[in-house]
Structure 1
Amino acid sequence: MAPDIPTVVLTGVWVMLPAYVPNSVAVVVGGGPPIDGGRLWHGTRLLGDGKTWRGFLGGTVAGAGVAVGLNVLRPSVSAALPSFPVSVVIALPLGAMLGDAAGSFVKRRTGRERGARFPLVDQFSFVCGALLLSVLLAPSWTFETFTPPVLLVALALTPLLHRGTNGLAYYLGLKDVPW
């Protein structure tokens, strides 16, 4: 039986919201001391000034808040949507922030400056981090929830949402580049 496309799309967005929100919030609340403390590795910054403790923690807390909020809204939206166990409330946003930091680390190692484009890494490092930490902390939930169709929706929507939110942040003066 073919999956119900509207339900699959709604589920894909629903389960990814706690991972999508942290990076946007990190841009808004960021600033302050960088996570790497200015440290260098082989002559280049570990992460750069764009990755701050305030942004990392603010993004993680915001994503966890989204997951908790979705759990509250779930009964009135659709009982068919998955709820987020505590391990996932933590895993998705924390994994997204760790994945984004890992993407910055890779950018620095390949000689790219802060804000430079890095196709695929820019769009998917936070998704990979969120899914990886979710698999590690809640494997059953992750594999039951991220069915191939739901995973496909999440992967297809990510570049569109990434581009749209970054463009908006640029327009609002929160980012120096629109990507």
Structure 2
Amino acid sequence: MAVLETIGVAFWVMLPAYVPNNAAVLAGGGRPIDGGRELNGRRLLGDGKTWRGTAAGIVAGLLLAGGLTMIAADVSGTLGFEVPTFTPWAALGLAGGAMLGDILASFLKRRTGRQRGAMFPGLDQLDFVVVSLPLTALLATDWFLTWFTLGVILVIVVLTPILHVGTNMIAYKLGLKNEPW
């Protein structure tokens, strides 16, 4: 794959994992997943991880994957290289893995004494990638092996923190987030 093709495929293939956390912020609120429970005097997850936000994030990722699949042929023709269509299991692995990664990161933050919204460099930017990729590989192995080449994975590891910081800064400036990370 050429460099621009690799970047294009990496961005396209990760969109169903990139969107869920943003959708969760917009649709969040409601009952926390941990129900207020604590472990060693600290909340398991905190008020920021809710059932409504998690469900909305997963649904948003699934819907986006479906929409991308519907336009993939036209986009491929326009770009001059093939972008993937998403199988249902691939879409679920990416969207569900993104939300699960964010939940697990929250759990780790609470265990290390960080409060809701506290910065945790590295984890904040890649938590959803670290879970969505293996989950997608498990649920849609052949699809994963076709699209997640070493080059694509490397682009994702470099591109994701840049996109994450940029979108969080925008959300902060728009008043959608309380902190810019």
2:107 — aligned with what? 105
Structure-1 separation of matches of 2:114 and 2:17: 24
The partner residue of 2:121 within 119, 122, 125 is 119
Structure-2 separation of matches of 1:72 and 1:44: 45
- Give the drift of 1:29: 0.6
1:2-151 to 2 correspondences below 5 Å: 3-78=1-76, 80-151=82-153
The sequence identity of aligned pairs, in percent, is 54
- Give the drift of 1:86: 1.0
- Give the drift of 1:113: 0.5
The partner residue of 1:174 within 173, 176, 180 is 176
Structure-2 separation of matches of 1:7 and 1:39: 46
- Give the drift of 1:140: 1.8
Structure-1 separation of matches of 2:143 and 2:155: 18
Moved segments of 4+, more than 6 Å: none
Kindly report the root-mean-square deviation, in angstroms, between the aligned alpha carbons of the 2 structures. 0.9
Q: Which runs of 5+ in 1 are unaligned?
A: none
Deviation readout 1:116-162 (Å, 9 max, x if unpaired): 11011101111111112101101221122110111111111111110
Structure-2 separation of matches of 1:171 and 1:34: 25
* Secondary structure of the corresponding residue to residue 74 of structure 1: helix
Structure-2 separation of matches of 1:165 and 1:26: 14
TM-score, normalised to structure 1, is 0.96
Structure-2 separation of matches of 1:36 and 1:167: 28
How many correspondences in the alignment?
A: 177
Q: State the AA in 2 paired with 1:89.
A: A
Deviation readout 1:27-76 (Å, 9 max, x if unpaired): 11101111111010111001001111111000100011110011001010
Structure-1 separation of matches of 2:48 and 2:143: 32
